[in-house]
Structure 1
């Protein structure tokens, strides 16, 4: 069954239909085909496709242009597609309900409904957000067709429980390797055990105190964690290589280079705290990096949007604690916020679920703001 978007129909029904189209990262063609078919039937939109990403734009000559964006891919399915409703009808349950098919439903419904918004709107539906950064569809648009992302303000429909979340943390993944010397375990004194040599660093990580950093009035939580470890080739060989992968989630107070310097100080100080045997060495390399984004809530359009969301009874804006593509908009010089249905702490869970009330609130807030007079 193909998607059908009827203006005024319950947006939560559209969300369920989108969840029912599997779109694990790298396999988004089917859902993109269906969204494209809907958008190409809308006379007030110009529609462009780049791979499995779509850009749909109004061209009304308004004084301001807003970009509203979201990703269509999900993490792998785990017996949670198709979607279901909770017995009381208040929850949409299924893979991607939170991250972020319900947000996509809000975008798609409004793209169809709003023939004459008071600000021109660029609607972006992109692929491969849930995988490594170089594959990200929004990044591909920025590299290949940057003019399509020109605008005065951007809203990313990432899950925020229908509360504005400003900025985002940056992320670094680093492989830290201790190099020792292999030997037969029966003559272990002939070797240098790299796994043992990693102990000071693991001890440092175990007692690391996560920092809260205030940026532009919002509190961002930082963290450094070991997320993987490898070492050893056999049960009778002293291992000569041990590698620990760490993930540093850093606040917008730091640039990528400053975050790297902080990580490197942590690494070197850890090993300096404990004498190493002669012949042991430590190296590291970065396997992934993405900049943080400052909140940007002082931009005039951000203030206007925050006022509109506050009118719905939503709490005050807060910090986005994960990485999102608001950072990419920040690098393009476009103020951006996160605003979408669903609790981000439920994202990727086997029982992922989004409140219907969140979907309706986000739809109403965006609709009212995009059709309100511009002062």
Structure 2
């Protein structure tokens, strides 16, 4: 069997070296992908392909495909980060008091490094019977479209199970809410502000809509269950050009977070109902509702057979029962789940540090999770 002890220790070094690359910027996204590619080409026989190399957001897929495989397993993660604004030394790779500090170390370069180490170990083992894929994206924090493209265009097959290394505090995340964005536009009539009655104020229309929507939002939040609370929030209000002109146009941008099992279109219908109610009271009010983006929810049943096996492996590897939880935000697993693929999140990072000025990760967690990932690969694919 592959002598993996030193490789687990190197997973810390992988994290540190990845953390010193500014992958908020396009050049850094290319650099982190190149870093992973070099390791895989130099130290494994895996097939490695970089996609969208001529764009600002490349992504990498590596694969191990033995003959006769009937099961396909995907390790997936992202190497892009949010803005380092507000951090003193976001890309210095500083280790102090047992923590590696810097932008992206928790979300999720520590988890990606653990997956990388596990994949490298599996690639150098004998007896592989099932297919293993490793994908690293660079657009998750702002789009999450690369994994969807990979599955839609056949760059990845429809795998049987996926694990994503988001910062979960070493817990298994099996669900998160979906997210949709909506725009509501209002069309009035301009006039001079000295004779406003000759116009139709689109901002007033938007204000009427917001007041009615607040009542519906309260009703929506009463649908809370074990997966969270559905929410709807007006995040942007725009309209008008000058104080002395009655504004003929206004727009609201609304964030919708819907529960696993729900359809975002039911919230689109709610917005349309609110608009219709406004129009009954104010016949001159004209408006439209449209969904401008949708990011699918995630729900993987705890009784999923592969997940039950993973649960037992984690317990055996860590010496404690696997814990289940939900993710507050959104992740790429939502898109993967949309293709009917059971998907979970599992990583060494503590999500409470994600996107914050003091982002950090406890370094000893990284090799422990790397080894656990490896044990999962050994049990399911060898």
TM-score bin, normalised by smaller chain: 0.7 to 0.9
- Residue 13 of structure 1: aligned partner: 13
- Residue 43 of structure 2: aligned partner: 42
Structure 2 residue 262 is matched with structure 1 residue 251: no
Q: Given the superposition, is the C-alpha separation of residues 44 and 212 from structure 1 closer, same or farther in structure 2, using an over 3 Å criterion? A: farther
Distance 1:305 1:362 in 2: 13
How far is 1:239 from its partner?
Answer: 1.0
Classify the secondary structure of the residue corresponding to 1:220: coil
Distance 1:87 1:178 in 2: 54
The gaps in structure 2 that reach 5 residues or longer are 53-57
Q: Given the superposition, is the C-alpha separation of residues 274 and 77 from structure 1 closer, same or farther in structure 2, using an over 3 Å criterion? A: same
Structure 2 residue 211 is matched with structure 1 residue 203: yes
- Residue 269 of structure 1: aligned partner: 274
Structure 2 residue 138 is matched with structure 1 residue 127: yes
Distance 1:164 1:107 in 2: 15
- Residue 60 of structure 2: aligned partner: 54
1:323-362 equivalence runs, <5 A: 323-362=330-369
Choose 112-121 or 328-337, whichever is displaced more.
112-121
- Residue 184 of structure 2: aligned partner: 176
- Among candidates 128, 136, 149, match of residue 140 of structure 1: 149
- Residue 327 of structure 2: aligned partner: 320
1:301-316 equivalence runs, <5 A: 301-311=306-316, 312=318, 313=320, 316=323
Tell me how many residue pairs correspond in the alignment.
Answer: 361
Distance 2:30 2:214 in 1: 43
How far is 1:139 from its partner?
Answer: 2.2
Choose 62-71 or 351-360, whichever is displaced more.
351-360
| 8 A contact 1:127–1:138 mirrored in 2 | no
Structure 2 residue 64 is matched with structure 1 residue 64: no
| 8 A contact 1:225–1:246 mirrored in 2 | yes
- Residue 237 of structure 1: aligned partner: 245
Structure 2 residue 33 is matched with structure 1 residue 32: yes
How far is 1:211 from its partner?
Answer: 4.5
- State the TM-score, normalizing by the size of structure 2: 0.85
Q: Given the superposition, is the C-alpha separation of residues 227 and 314 from structure 1 closer, same or farther in structure 2, using an over 3 Å criterion? A: farther
Q: Given the superposition, is the C-alpha separation of residues 144 and 234 from structure 1 closer, same or farther in structure 2, using an over 3 Å criterion? A: same
Classify the secondary structure of the residue corresponding to 1:130: coil
RMSD: 2.7
How far is 1:249 from its partner?
Answer: 1.0
| 8 A contact 1:57–1:122 mirrored in 2 | yes
- Residue 168 of structure 2: aligned partner: 160
Distance 2:25 2:170 in 1: 25
Q: Given the superposition, is the C-alpha separation of residues 267 and 201 from structure 1 closer, same or farther in structure 2, using an over 3 Å criterion? A: farther
Q: Given the superposition, is the C-alpha separation of residues 219 and 261 from structure 1 closer, same or farther in structure 2, using an over 3 Å criterion? A: closer
| 8 A contact 2:275–2:287 mirrored in 1 | no
How far is 1:279 from its partner?
Answer: 2.0
How far is 1:266 from its partner?
Answer: 3.9
Distance 1:315 1:71 in 2: 24
How far is 1:372 from its partner?
Answer: 3.5
